Amino acid sequence: MNILVINSGSSSLKYQLFHMPDEKPLCTGLIEKIGKEDSFIRHKTINKEDVQVTEKTLSVKDYGEGMKHVLALLTDSGLIKNTDDLEVIGHRVVHGGEHFSTAVIIDPDVKQKIMGLSTLAPLHNPVNYKCIEFAEKIFPNAKQIAVFDTAFHQTMPEFAFRYAVPEKYYSEMHIRAYGFHGTSHKYVSEKAMERLGKPDAKIISIHLGNGCSITAVNGGKSIDTSMGFGPLSGLVMGTRSGDIDPSVILHLQRKEGKTADEMDKLLNNESGLLGLAGSNDMRDVVKMLEAGNYDAELAIDMYAYRIKKYIGSYAAVLNGLDAIVFTAGVGENDALMREKICRDMEYFGIQLDAESNRAKSDQIREISGKSGRVKILVIPTNEELEIARQSFELLREDPPCEQVNLY
């Protein structure tokens, strides 16, 4: 069975075709700058060692047109013969609110809920919804499945997901921590559990990409995570501030007359590594550090320090720690950052092996030193594969996975 995975962002569309259950990727592609004149398409057909790349710059005016390009690229490269040839499409959906704690088959009720959650994820859910509608039109015979970024975190206990504001903000306005990057945290923490051979393992999963988040996983269940109501809180990210005293926002609004939208822009798009060091790309910041730049050094120190604090915090809520897992762009590739994070953490039994930390690899690997009690793992994430897996599992099961419906 082939499963097409659709991952639509705020102006991009990524897709990947897997053969299941052997998890073989057949193609992968990307459409960027949707809605602009110079949209960009890259498609790779993968046939064992042979990779064929197609690239085009042209105008892709909306997600509907984008989906049509995907269809054309799949048929042109011989991966499917016609639209009936595709049985399953797995969609990444950012916000599942309290409705969805697992992947679900999309029906009108699910679609309505996804659209209803747009107030909580205004940049993402409407786009995800549109792609589902286009996919239903283009591939009318395929099963459409939704896999939510928030779903993995629905196991958080209430004392962890609530904020200390009056109850009505939760019951009436759905203000609580949802957490994101759930698909990635689930994928890498399961890999870690497998590797440890310990189904009740206590794991801290650290996703460091453009967005960054960290999750406490107890026996395969997320019990706390650093992103909250939105994807802004927690760690220092590429362009996002992460945790910040809320009174800073009020102070800046009073002193500079900043509106909510301006503050949003400041904290989401102009902060983090970019705000501190002038680039949101960790590779640039590391280069600046190596050239002796003070701001870059501070940015990297703050980035690492914040992660250290969360590791301690999650070791406390887990009351133990078997492994920490580094994943995503920075987590998988940045040996210096891993070194900074793990330095002076002996109290937790965290101790890095300098040599295996520096070795380059795109495989799952262990970088802990001999005297550490805690395994330190680097595990490449693969959200697309995880979506394909969950879609496959869901269709295999009968009846489908339990769905949680809290409001």
Ligand X SMILES: Nc1ncnc2c1ncn2[C@@H]1O[C@H](COP(=O)(O)OP(=O)(O)O)[C@@H](O)[C@H]1O
Catalytic residue at 50? no
List the one residue out of 183, 172, 208, 201 whose CA is nearest residue 310: 208
Site for a copy of itself contains 252 (CB under 8 A): yes
Residue 244 contacts which entry, ligand X, a copy of itself, none (Cβ below 5-8 A, type-dependent): a copy of itself
Q: Using the rule CB under 6 A, is 224 a contact of ligand X?
A: no
**For ligand X, the closer CB: 54 or 333:** 333
Q: Which is nearer to a copy of itself, 194 or 294 (CB)?
A: 294
Which residues, other chains included, contact 343 with Cβ-Cβ below 8 Å and sequence gap of 6+? 352
Three-state secondary-structure class, residue 136:
helix
- 345 binds a copy of itself, rule: CB under 8 A: yes
Tokens encoding 330: 């920075």
Annotate each residue in 280-309 with x if it binds ligand X (CB under 6 A) or - if it does not, as one string: -xxx--x-----------------------
Q: What angle do CA 200, 201, 206 make, to 5 degrees?
A: 140
Query: Scanning residues 151 to 210, which ones bind a copy of itself (CB under 8 A)?
Result: 158-160, 162-167, 169, 173, 175, 177
Question: Which listed residue (25, 329, 349, 369) binds ligand X by CB under 6 A?
Answer: 329
- Cα–Cα distance for residue pair 154/265, rounded to 1 Å: 28
Query: Strand runs (DSSP E) across 94-196, as ranges?
Result: 104-105, 143-148
Distance CA 369, CA 326 (A): 15
Give the phi and the psi of residue 81 in degrees, each rounded to 5: -85, -45
In sequence order, the 6+-apart residues with CB closer than 8 A to the CB of 301 are 340
Residue 247 in the binding site for a copy of itself (CB under 8 A): yes
What is the x/- site pattern for ligand X, positions 237-266, by CB under 6 A? -x----------------------------
In the DSSP assignment, the letter for residue 352 is B
Q: Which residue has the tokens 């792609």?
A: 131
**Stretch of residues binding ligand X (CB under 6 A), selected from 17-25, 264-272, 323-331, 343-351:** 323-331
Residues of each annotated binding site for Mg(2+): 7, 383
> Known catalytic residues?
149
Residues of each annotated binding site for ATP: 14, 207-211, 281-283, 329-333
